[in-house]
Structure 1
Amino acid sequence: MASQYEIRADFDARTIVVYQAYSPAIADAALRAGRFTAPFSFNRMTWIKPSFLWLMHRSNWARKSGQERILAVRMTREGWEAALGEAVLTTGDQAALAKAAVHVQWDPERSERGAALNHYSVQVGVGRHLIRTFAEEWVVALTDLTPQVRKAAELIQKGGAAKAQRLLPPERVYPLPKEIERRIARS
């Protein structure tokens, strides 16, 4: 896969962290239960993102309505790779995409200030047929990053991007199995 399309993530030998932005109601219920529960919807696709900065761009650093809370979702690498093994690119065959359990799209990665960078970040849409598996089998921990996000956003706004950098999760290239790499590669 071209280096501009590598997955960059926070991961260890067993798990990977993906990020999601939620309303306070969804985040609070999930954090209380230690897992996703109502009002989280098990009937629609949920998008997970291993790029923290891409989600910060998307949620405007947790300032967009319905995206005021940022959760780090630690999931098994086995689940992550199982999802990617079923993925269809959103830019590919639309008939295959309509039937796919998982959607993958590549969007320009973002800087702390939201500028598009010259490499891409993956977004993974887990379809409703896999949502329960994602929530009940693959997710191993939920962490509220909202206070950290707010502090980093404030530092960046005040010109302290270097200080804010220390608050950002570490991300490095995720080593994909070759068959999954081929499946999600942009042509």
Structure 2
Amino acid sequence: MTGASPPTTPWSPDGEEQAPDAAGLIARAGLLPDLVHTSVLRRSIHTAEIVLDRLGRFWIPVRRTWRLNERQYGVLTGRSKRRTRIEAGPELYEQWRRSLHGCPSPLPEDRLALLRADPRYASLPGEGVPAVETFAVVIARVLPYWSDLLAPALTLRCHRAARRTRQLSCAPSSPCSATSTNPASTT
């Protein structure tokens, strides 16, 4: 069964409506992206495609990484939150969902083997996809991507935006003309 993809959770009707709504909010805020980061999960990719299309930015680069995947919920993978809360009880459900170290039972070996055979995860270190994750494990998975790629890119973009704003708001005869790139305009 090598190369076979495990079943994926389809979009909910709410998800179908939320992606275009999110694009509208992004556009109204004037936050047009020049690069998008998604997980390798189908719903995440599909959401990004819809948002970028609605923003007229379908052409920009998209980086996909397993590090941005949602939490691996073990035996609860693919199950509805409502049904799980009823079956497990609210206390246990909240421990699984909200505590740093709580988690449900791991994914059974047959389902885990199918997931690990998925080509999206072939290059993962160690055993690959974990059988279940706590929030602490998710943080450890996401943090390198944040620290190495996202935070530096956001910082650089903020610096560039600030520099552009200063250049646009400073007329050559204004007191801040020293930020001008024209050496003749400095005093």
When you count strand as a share of all residues, which structure comes out higher? Answer: 1
TM-score scaled to structure 2, two decimals? 0.24
| Largest Rg, 1 or 2 | 2
TM-score scaled to structure 1, two decimals? 0.24
